[in-house]
């Protein structure tokens, strides 16, 4: 049987051959959360960028773990004098079940978030130099990147684009609008959070992970168990197509997940995302957190059957 990883390579090969024959099914815009350098909090020194992906109807792109097939979106940033982008912060994904395979990703529209570390000293030096250099009225600094993604419907296509954020001599960013800033805020609410209100552990037995989630604060809330789903960060950990059995008890939640057929020994720990699904219910009282990051140790040491 062909593994999910091998399927991904086969899909990519097919997509590369087809990509040049059609225009992109996904349009991408890079937007900043604030108008310019002066609006960045000097204490955090962080600028948030939104990578707004508009996806044609019926098509979808992939999460960091694409599931049984597919490839995650990647962004390769060029070096910049005072802006240093970090890793993508992924909103919680959706599940796609098609032709006996399960994949994870996004349809319609998604805004990926990228934190950018700003060197305050160097950015201020840039603006001072721009103010004093009247011969360079149009002086700008450009943060550039190359972005690749796989988009699938009946076929899969490899698409790409170039991204750029310009900073003019007054420290203003290109692409800013209040609407764009609002989209970034909405997307941030969908990015899974680390919370201290829940703790998790897992046992491996009879080819299944039995994950136990225990509330450790009065703020912990249990969403509708019919919608709860676990998305592992890495491929090859669980059987994505197998049903996940959720049981809600008075003092804990249990989730049984089938182990991937490709695992040869039990991992020490597993990381991933617990989502409340379409209900969007929060995991924490008085906060809007529809998905949480979890890392849990695995005990037993028994080989999966």
The distance between the two most distant Cα atoms of the chain, rounded to a whole number of Å, is 73
pLDDT at 281: 92
pLDDT given at position 21: 37
Q: What is the pLDDT of residue 188?
A: 95
pLDDT of residue 41: 85
**Which residue ranges make up each domain of the chain?**
4-188, 193-299
**39 Cβ neighbours under 8 A, 6+ residues apart:** none
Q: CATH topology for 193-299?
A: Immunoglobulin-like (2.60.40)
pLDDT at 12: 44
- The answer to whether 146 touches 30, Cβ cutoff 8 Å, is no
Specify the pTM.
0.87
Rounded CA separation 11/117 (Å): 35
CB atoms within 10 A of CB 4: 21
DSSP states of 257-282: EEBPTT--S--SEEEEEEE-GGG---
Residues of the chain whose pLDDT is less than 50?
1-22, 135, 302-305
């Amino acid at each position: 049987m062909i593994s999910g990883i091998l399927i991904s390579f086969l899909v990519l090969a097919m997509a590369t051959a087809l990509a040049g024959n059609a225009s992109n099914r996904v349009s991408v815009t890079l937007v900043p959360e604030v108008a310019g350098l002066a609006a960045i909090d000097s204490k955090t020194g962080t600028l948030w960028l939104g990578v707004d992906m508009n996806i044609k109807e019926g098509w979808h792109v992939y999460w960091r773990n694409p599931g049984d097939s597919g490839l995650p979106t990647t962004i390769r940033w060029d070096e910049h004098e005072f802006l240093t982008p970090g890793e993508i912060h992924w909103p919680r994904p959706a599940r796609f079940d098609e032709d006996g395979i399960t994949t994870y990703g996004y349809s319609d529209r998604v805004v990926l978030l990228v934190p950018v570390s700003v060197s305050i000293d160097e950015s201020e030096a840039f603006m001072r130099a721009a103010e004093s250099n009247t011969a360079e009225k149009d002086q700008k600094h450009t943060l550039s990147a190359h972005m690749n993604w796989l988009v699938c419907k009946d076929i899969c296509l490899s698409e790409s684009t170039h991204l750029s954020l310009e900073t003019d001599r007054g420290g203003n960013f290109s692409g800013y609008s209040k609407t764009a800033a609002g989209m970034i805020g909405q997307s941030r609410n969908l990015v899974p959070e680390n919370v201290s209100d829940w703790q998790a552990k897992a046992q491996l037995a009879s080819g299944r992970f039995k994950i136990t989630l225990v509330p450790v604060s009065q703020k912990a809330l249990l969403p509708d168990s019919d919608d709860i789903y676990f998305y592992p960060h890495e491929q090859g950990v669980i059987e994505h197509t197998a049903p996940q059995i959720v049981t809600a008890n008075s003092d804990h939640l249990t989730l049984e997940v089938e182990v991937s057929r490709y695992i040869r020994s039990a991992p020490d720990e597993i990381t991933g995302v617990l989502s409340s699904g379409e209900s969007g219910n929060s995991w924490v009282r008085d906060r809007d957190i529809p998905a949480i990051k979890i890392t849990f140790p695995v005990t037993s040491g028994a080989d999966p059957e």
